[in-house]
Structure 1
C-alpha cells in the first residue's frame, strides 16, 4: 500500500472540499438575516430534498424553501396545508435575492416550527 506525501494529502483534501462545498452552500444556512414575509402561495412542489413554494408578496414572487416531507409532518403540517391559494406568514433566513429558507410559518392562527433549533 503506497503512502501519500504531504502534497498528495493536500491535493486529496482540496478535491474533497470541491465536492462538499456546493452541498453545504445549497443545504446550509449562509449567515443571511432572518426576515418575515406574508403572502399567498401561487405554486407548490413538496418532496425531497426539500419542498419549495412560490409566495406572492405584494405582487413580488418569492421562493420559499420548506422542509423535507418528514420535517413538515413532524411540525404538524398536513396534506393540503401548503397548497396554491393558501395565505401564510413565514419567517426564516433570507438566503438570496427573493429566496427564503423557512424556519417557521403560520397558516391563520396555527404556528408550525420546521427547524426547532434555529429559532
Structure 2
C-alpha cells in the first residue's frame, strides 16, 4: 500500500512538471510579437535553464532571458561580452503581462555584432 502511494505521488509529480516548465520556459507567456530594447547591462546570471541579464532601459530594469549555455555559445554570445556597463540591444518577445518587465531574447546586439539565439524563429 505504501509503495502504491509513493508510485502514485511520483507519477502525479512527473506529469505536472512538464506543464510547469513549459509555462515558463516556452514562448506561451510572451506577447507573440518582436520588440526591440536597448539599454545598459547592470547584472548577469548565466547558467541553466537559461541565462538572465538585467538591462537598464531608460531607468527601468528589464529582465532579459538569454539562451541556455550551449545556445549562447552557438550564437557567439560569450560570458566576456555579457558584463556590467555594456550597452546591449535585445530583439525578442516581451511578457504578455505588461506589468512584467521580462523579454525573451531571440537576438542580441553588442558592439555592432548580432548574436542570433533562435535561428529557427526567423
For the aligned residue pairs, the C-alpha RMSD in angstroms reads: 1.7
Q: Which residue of 2 aligns with 1:103?
A: 106
Quote the offset at 1:58 in angstroms: 0.2
**TM-score, normalised relative to structure 2:** 0.80
Q: Which residue of 1 aligns with 2:48?
A: 48
Distance 1:69 1:21 in 2: 23
For residues 36-88 of structure 1, give each alpha carbon's deviation from its aligned partner in whole angstroms, at most 9, with x where no partner exists.
10000000001111100100000000000001111111001223101111101
- The unaligned stretches of length 5 or more in structure 1 are 1-11
1:116 paired with 2:114, answer no
The structure with more radius of gyration: 1
1:9-88 matches, cutoff 5 A:
16=15, 18-30=16-28, 31-32=30-31, 33-88=33-88
Q: Which residue of 1 aligns with 2:7?
A: none
- The unaligned stretches of length 5 or more in structure 2 are 1-10
Distance 2:78 2:54 in 1: 18
State the aligned residue count. 106
Secondary structure of 1:44's aligned partner? strand
Distance 1:78 1:100 in 2: 19
